[in-house]
Amino acid sequence: MSATAAIPAGESPTRRAIKRFLRHRLAVFGLIIVVLFVAVALLAPLIAPYDPLQTSWSRIRKPPSWDHWMGTDENGRDVLSRVIWGARASLMAGVISVLGALLLGVPLGLLAGLAGGWTDAIISRVADAMLSVPFLILAIALAAFLGPALENAMLAIAITASPVFVRLSRGMALDAKSTDWIEAARALGNPPWRIAFVHVLPNIIPPLLVQASLAIAEAIIAEAALSFLGLGMQPPNPSWGSMLNSSQRFLTQAPWLSIFPGLTIMIVVLAFNLMGDGLRDALDPRAERR
Amino acid sequence: MTALLELDGLVKRFPVRDALGRRAGAVHAVDGVSLSVAEGEVLAIVGESGCGKSTLGRLMLNLITPDAGSVRFAGEDLTRLSAAALRARRRDMQLIFQDPFASLDPRMTVEQAIAEPLRLHRIVPRDQERARVADLLARVGLRPELARRWPHEFSGGQRQRIAIARALASRPRLIVGDEPVSALDVSVQAQVINLLSDLIREFRLTFVLISHDLGVVRHVADRVAVMYLGRIVEEGPAEQVLTAPLHPYTRALLAAVPGHGAKAPPIEGDVPSPIAPPPGCRFHTRCPFAEDRCRVTVPELSAGPHRVACHLTGRLPPAPPRPERAAGGERLRRLQSFFRAPGPQPGAQP
């Protein structure tokens, strides 16, 4: 070993995780599909062949053709264009509502885990109560209470999804609290908020990330379900769920109306799940040790 | 010499709950400990595992609050300080942990970890932080270029050096070392003990060394306190306690050092449960000299520089002759002579 050899800055835990993730083929495949759909959603005005709201009496419920790859709907609108624009509503609903759930759930979970006592008991019991109601039922009830609109649907999904994050971050915070490095942080004179956000939070991000990517898939389904029930995106604006809603009457005469939005939901949800699985493997704390 | 740290009647019990969450008793981890540590002194606390050494160390820094008693640091009762005032006081007292693989935040670089106390207590301006960290790394025998690395890239001994640098960063007056070398390889132990004793001298630190390794204790301690089941049974100047022990338990501990020539009556059985400590002298269940009185009355610590809590003081058969230097200490010294010479430490092994 030559003493003058330059010492590189060292490899951070994050970089090691990225390396492991990239070795996971299915996960990378999922990531590519997710990125593709995000691009489609962002570039919708450029790549959609038709105006998604343009109706036409001469092209009602036409099967897929070269002009309309996914056919046309009951008002003569191009299904492909509507699926492309619908990606906006669905991905936004997925990502924003999960972000909301994180923002709501993680601080509460950290507080419960680190403070303990009564604070913990109250927060945990409320989270448990919410978790005891099936996800969709709670989301539907909340969305119905808030009124039919995409924003309200996202808010409802965010609130419904947050208890999972409360529980997860509380458990991880409890775990961290008993470690030497958290006691060391206290011994150094860190105030409680710094322990929570500077020491505990960065260390619990891996499981949160995994849970979030799986929750996005769930939120997309929830948004579709709410829109299907008329509680999400309002007509005539397209979202995959509302497209399924209006296509159910033509399931036998015009199956392409439901097949394409349904298939798209399936592919996106699958992609998020694959990505989440890959993240879990890459961020496995047991693999973190040398 | 004035006392920097004064413990008075410290008690700490941890409640034990049964399967239904009801209180089913308590672990008497620390039970009435009074002790004082003079400025600049190295006090060793020895005893078997489970005797409350680590709990006592945490109590000294008020990392856990005592159920009774007081902890006076530089004349100030830590147990009465507000949370914010106590945090500010932490600048002057630091802790070194046993397991260097657990005591460093895995998501902080060496530089971030060592700079943290500097920032928390605003010790140096931000632009001098990096230089200060490099200086501290050099003090503990690590190359300053390693500052941007992550804990997982270091060996146990190197991590412990990082932890020591972090403990030194705020220039504390008191450092408590909780078994600081017992998780390390023997060869590395010697290096780290050498480093610690150098730093203690250089920074004129007051140091409380919690250890079960009498070889290590003999090498650095000025005074020794022997703990058994949450109580101090003997306390005094290191060479007196280690060469002319007064308490049967201390004698047995010394006799248990491997390679030790002298034969003292071995202690039999295990440490009794700290949930229901025996009445009277807590050692009577294992003491070869125990009398009726020992089973009933709790012996108090005697007064003077060499204190002992035993009813039989002065009536014990003389301690078996011991060689002036025990083999354990000799081995450590030999090891140390190997590691003193080569000067600066090699960097991180790939």
pLDDT band, residue A16 (cuts 50/70/90): confident
Give B152 to chain A, closest Cα distance, Å.
7
Residue B347 is predicted with a pLDDT of 45
- Residue that the structure tokens 């009577």 belong to: B284
| Chain A residues touching residue B172 (CB < 8 angstroms) | none
Q: Which residues contact B17 (CB under 8 A, 6 or more apart)?
A: B23, B24
CA distance to partner chain B, nearest, from residue A180 (Å): 5
Q: Contact at 8 Å (CB) between B294 and B287?
A: yes
3-class DSSP state for residue B313? Answer: coil
Domain ranges of chain A: 15-43+79-288
A118 close contact with B: CB closer than 8 A: no
Distance from CA of B105 to the nearest CA of A (A): 5
Given an 8 Å threshold on Cβ–Cβ distance, is B117 in contact with A188?
yes
pLDDT > 80? residue A6: no
| Residues of chain B contacting A185 with CB distance shorter than 8 Å | 105, 116
Mutation site for B-interface testing, chosen from A1, A7, A201 by largest number of B Cβ within 10 Å: A7
Look at residue B344 in the predicted model and tell me its pLDDT. Answer: 46
DSSP state of B116: H
Would the CA dihedral through A163, A165, A168, A172 be positive or negative? negative
What is the rounded average pLDDT of the residues A230-240?
83
B143 CA to chain A: closest CA distance, Å?
Answer: 10
- β-bridge mates for residue B210, sequence order: B45, B178
Q: β-pairing, B76-77 with B206-211?
A: unpaired
Whether the CB-CB separation of B89 and B126 falls below 8 Å is answered with no
Lowest mean pLDDT among A22-36, A255-269, B269-283: B269-283
Are the Cβ atoms of B105 and A12 closer than 8 angstroms? no
Q: How far is CA B159 from CA A189, B40, B112, B124, B349, in A?
A: 21, 26, 14, 24, 13
Q: Rounded to an integer, what distance in angstroms lies between the CA atom of residue A105 and that of residue A172? A: 13
Q: At what angle do helices A201-228 and A135-146 cross, to 10 degrees?
A: 70
Alpha-carbon B165 to chain mean position: 18
Task: Write out pLDDT tens, residues B239-264.
Answer: 999 988 889 899 888 887 765 555 55
For residue B115, give every residue at least 6 positions away whose Cβ sits within 8 Å of its Cβ, in sequence order, or none.
B129, B130, B132, B133, B169
- Regarding predicted confidence, which is higher, B264 or B295? B295
Q: Does ipTM exceed 0.85?
A: no
State the Cα–Cα distance between residues A204 and A195, nearest whole angstrom: 12
Within 8 A of A175 by CB-CB distance, chain B residues are none
Size of interface A-B (CB pairs under 8 A): 86
Using CA atoms, how far apart are residues B229 and B344, in angstroms rounded to an integer?
42
Least confident of A178-182, B56-60, B149-153, B338-342: B338-342
Cβ neighbour number for residue B259 with a 10 Å cutoff: 10
**Beta-strand pair B223-228/B307-308:** unpaired
Min distance A65 CA to chain B CA atoms (Å): 55
B187-202: average pLDDT = 91
CB atoms A9 and B148 under 8 Å: yes
Check B95 against A288: CB less than 8 A apart: no
pLDDT at residue A287, rounded to an integer: 53
Least confident of B49-63, B158-172, B197-211, B303-317: B303-317
All residues at 6 or more sequence positions from A243 whose CB lies less than 8 Å from its CB, including other chains: A73, A79, A82, A83, A86, A257, A258, A261
pLDDT at A5: 47
pTM of the predicted model as reported, rounded to 2 decimal places: 0.80
Residue B298 token pair = 């709790």
> Six-digit token pair at B127?
């632009």
Q: Tell me how far apart the alpha carbons of residues A186 and B66 are, in angstroms, rounded to a whole number.
A: 17
* pLDDT for B330: 63
Question: B-side interface with A, Cβ within 8 Å?
Answer: 61, 63, 84, 87-91, 94-95, 97, 99, 102-107, 109, 116-117, 120-121, 143, 145-146, 148-150, 152-153, 163, 166, 170, 346-348, 350
Q: Is A3 on the interface with B (CB under 8 A)?
A: yes
Contact B232, B247 (CB under 8 A): no
Q: A28 to chain B, minimum CA–CA distance in Å?
A: 25
- CB distance B262 to B256 below 8 Å: no
What's the topology of domain A15-43+79-288?
MetI-like fold (1.10.3720)
Interface contact B97-A12, CB threshold 8 A: no
Average pLDDT over residues A19-24: 85
Q: Which amino acid is it at B300?
A: E
The DSSP bridge partners found for residue B177 are: B96, B209
Letter for the amino acid at B70? S
Using CA atoms, how far apart are residues A110 and A144, in angstroms rounded to an integer?
Answer: 30
Q: Are B67 and B12 in contact (CB under 8 A)?
A: yes
For testing contact with chain A, the best of B89, B90, B107, B171 (most A CBs within 10 A): B107
Q: What per-residue confidence (pLDDT) applies to A241? A: 85
pLDDT confidence of A278, banded at 50, 70, 90?
A: confident
pLDDT in tens, B42-52: 999 998 888 88
Pairing of strands B68-73, B223-228: unpaired
B6 DSSP β-pair partners: B36, B72
